[in-house]
Structure 1
Amino acid sequence: MHWLKSVCIASCLLGIAHTSWAGVVVGGTRVVYDGSKKEASISVMNPEKTTPYLIQSWVEDASAGGAQKAPFIMTPPLFRLDAGQENVLRIIRTGGTFVENKESVFWVNIKSIPASEKSDANQLQISVKTRIKLFYRPASLSGSASDAYKSLKFSRSGNQLQVNNPTPYHVSFYRVSVGKDEISNAGMVAPQSSLTWTIPAGASGAASWQAINDFGGISADASAPL
């Protein structure tokens, strides 16, 4: 009986795992809005065989914690995505005043709600919200976004590590390390700004880092003595 109980528990856990992996797939980890263009876009796909989803999308102002309305609309803002289908969400600027010498960042939100079947039985519906960064990139910026991580300046003061970003681009970190010790949740450094972390106890050596590019790929290693 003990082995049967173990098999049942494992089966239930496997079913939960499959459910958590199912759902709508967003075609990117970030969106770059080229200031010289009229719009940007990102795809959403429903890989399910039978289940349709209701898709809702909107943009939030990252600097205000979502409290202010962002100067963008997403279209279509609400639609049904049938099983096996794909659609493209368009992001259109509606106004707003942006600084023209560096990027601005916003949040793209995409919520997927599975359809429910007609039944008298109780049903559990779980909606999933995907949140990715939207970078508004003015057309006049100099340099290359893909090379911005190479220009970062690192310095150490006691147990604090600081990075200064002199470029007009956001740099999202995949990894930041001091010697062999990695900084947890390195995050992102804004353009023409700095960011400070606490160094793991006992860490020593040079700083090394990798960044995430516009396409979600990982950059080559870069390093600098401290």
Structure 2
Amino acid sequence: MFSKSFPLTLWAALCFLLISPQPSSASIVVNGTRVVYPGNDKEVTVKLSNVGQAPMLVQSWIDTGDSDAKPEKFACPLFLRRPLTASIPIKARRYA
């Protein structure tokens, strides 16, 4: 019924589907890609806006840029007040 190359073709099609780009939602707009922290200030505020129509979850973290570093071994004098937060549509919020 099927040719001998059918399993190979099916396997190749499955691999192609797994590595093809998947749709994503980019409704969160950040008011900049870098934050300059003045030494005499106690906190820095970053503005996030949800320009979409659905609520979104925002996860944030601080790291050194080393993708191999383990989070438990990372030492940083800074911390995030809300590492995971929900953002309501069409509203701008400031996160300190």
TM-score, structure 2 normalization: 0.61
User: Secondary structure in 1 aligned to 2:76?
Assistant: coil
User: Percent of aligned pairs with the same residue?
Assistant: 33
Q: How far 1:22 sits from its partner (Å)? A: 3.7
Structure 2 partner of 1:32: 36
Moved over 6 A (4+): none
Question: Which amino acid in structure 1 is aligned with residue 57 of structure 2?
Answer: L
TM-score, structure 1 normalization: 0.28
How large is the Cα RMSD of the aligned pairs? 2.2
Structure 2 partner of 1:57: 60
Taking structure 1 as reference, are residues 23 and 69 closer, same or farther at Cα in structure 2, changes over 3 Å only? farther
Structure 2 partner of 1:79: 85
Question: Which amino acid in structure 1 is aligned with residue 39 of structure 2?
Answer: G
Q: How far 1:74 sits from its partner (Å)? A: 1.3
Structure 2 partner of 1:164: none
Q: How far 1:20 sits from its partner (Å)? A: 5.2
Question: Which amino acid in structure 2 is aligned with residue 47 of structure 1?
Answer: V
Structure 1 runs not aligned, ≥5 long: 1-18, 91-226
Q: How far 1:88 sits from its partner (Å)? A: 1.5
Q: How far 1:42 sits from its partner (Å)? A: 0.9
User: Are the aligned partners of 1:27 and 1:44 in contact in 2 as well (CA < 8 Å)?
Assistant: yes
Length, aligned pairs only: 70
Question: What are the superposed Cα offsets for residues 130-151 of structure 1, whole Å, 9 maximum, x if unpaired?
Answer: xxxxxxxxxxxxxxxxxxxxxx
Question: Which amino acid in structure 2 is aligned with residue 58 of structure 1?
Answer: W
Q: Tell me the distance in 2 between the aligned counterparts of 1:22 and 1:79.
A: 16
Q: How far 1:45 sits from its partner (Å)? A: 0.5
Q: How far 1:21 sits from its partner (Å)? A: 7.1
Structure 2 runs not aligned, ≥5 long: 1-22
Structure 1 partner of 2:11: none
**Which of these residues, 76, 81, 88, is aligned with residue 94 of structure 2?**
88
Taking structure 1 as reference, are residues 38 and 69 closer, same or farther at Cα in structure 2, changes over 3 Å only? same
Larger relative strand fraction? 1
Structure 1 partner of 2:3: none
Identify the range of structure 1 (65-74 vs 79-88) with the bigger mean alpha-carbon deviation.
Answer: 65-74
Larger relative helix fraction? 2
User: Secondary structure in 2 aligned to 1:88?
Assistant: strand
Map 1:144-159 → 2, pairs under 5 A: none
